[in-house]
Amino acid sequence: MTKQVHFRVDDDVYEKLVDKAVASGQTLQQSMTMALCKYVGKVDTMKQNKSGYTFIDLFAGIGGLRLAFENNGSQSVYSNEWNKYSQQTYLANFGVQPDDDITKVDEKSIPDHDILVAGFPCQPFSIAGVSKKNSMGRATGFQDKTQGTLFFDVCRVIKAKRPKAIFLENVKNLKSHDKGRTFKIIMESLNELDYDVHYAILDAQDFVPQHRERIVIVGFDRRRYGYVDFEFNLKKPVHKPVLREILEPKVDDKYTLSDKLWNYLQAYAEKHRKAGNGFGYGMADLDSHTRTLSARYYKDGSEILIPQPGKNPRRLTPRECARLQGFPDSFKIPVSNTQAYKQFGNSVAVPIMTEAARLVQSKLIELDMGKQQDVELLMKEA
């Protein structure tokens, strides 16, 4: 059920509203609805009891990392995501409309926060200008090395807001991307911003029935805490989940592969088997874990196929993909199946990120308590 709300605005305000709607490819009604949701979301955030740490959610996707930090009691005060379909899912689940282009956001306008959280895209850096400066014996900073990439926007927010901690997530291949140059520049840039940085490649298969390796980079403000002793000592769940536990009992026949597609995948796999390659479809073991769910899963589902006695195998449903990534069944999927497959394939495995977030917050609590004790000791001695 929808309600009608009528506004009276001056002509100049109306013209700006129309211009904004046209620029974003929306109707005036859609643009106004999103603006109101964004406003209400900010008001709700301001009203929340600030019992935990605050964080911002950059390159937010559908909110997997937001869930991880909220599961530990932290509160989001700002989110940013450019993809309109991901925005739609984010809005449906969190009641907040993310900002849509981080490159156009004034970093000073972003609310103060304790933890900066970002699943930023992996891009190669241009090192020509940096190499020239090095040859001339001139120092280079993060601005020289990262300008033109989205990681630059992460750096400028860090510099402006100086959060207590940063939590960055990316694909495992970030370490080897562009022959290791990308990772080297990222680590150098965070070090130049005075953050004590730690990283690890984490595999989610103990937390969800999926082999999914991701790199997590954690940093603590060195100006505030000095050098920090931090380790990724994840507490694994007592029960290791298996695939059959997340499958739906009844699935529509539309998820079963057609004879044409199934024959093609078998022929493709056989061709590469004869050539000595390992390419091909992945028939899942229901009592184990799957391959990594990717954003291309919507194309044919070949990396994770579910066997069906007496018929062709099927692909996972969007809800099963959500479960494979550890999203709760209460998580809403308001988009098409194609977009849902892309979104969950691009997202994080929520349970392992929840555990990683817990470690970061526990370390912050320890550090902040230590600083408080130091202050009390100095006051006693004064």
| Mean pLDDT per 10-residue interval, the chain, length 382 residues | 59 65 56 56 41 90 98 96 97 95 94 96 58 46 67 95 97 88 92 97 98 97 96 95 97 97 92 75 95 94 95 97 98 98 97 98 92 57 55
Domain coordinates in residue numbering, the chain = 1-47, 51-238, 243-346
Phi, psi of 313 (to 5 degrees): -70, 170
What is the sign of the dihedral through the CA atoms of 250, 254, 260 and 265? negative
Phi, psi of 80 (to 5 degrees): -145, 130
Residue 374 has a pLDDT of 54
Residue 244 has a pLDDT of 97
The CATH number fitting domain 51-238, selected from 3.40.50.150, 1.10.1200.10, 3.40.50.410, 3.30.565.10: 3.40.50.150
Q: Does this model's pTM top 0.75? A: yes
* Catalytic residue annotation: 122
Any idea what the Cα angle at residue 102 is, between residues 79 and 10, rounded to 5°? 85
Q: Is-same-fold flag (51-238; 243-346)?
A: no
How do the residues of the chain divide into helix, strand and coil, expressed in percent and rounded to 5? 50, 15, 35
Q: What is the CATH number of domain 243-346?
A: 3.90.120.10
Residue 48 has a pLDDT of 42
Residue 277 has a pLDDT of 72
Residue 50 has a pLDDT of 39
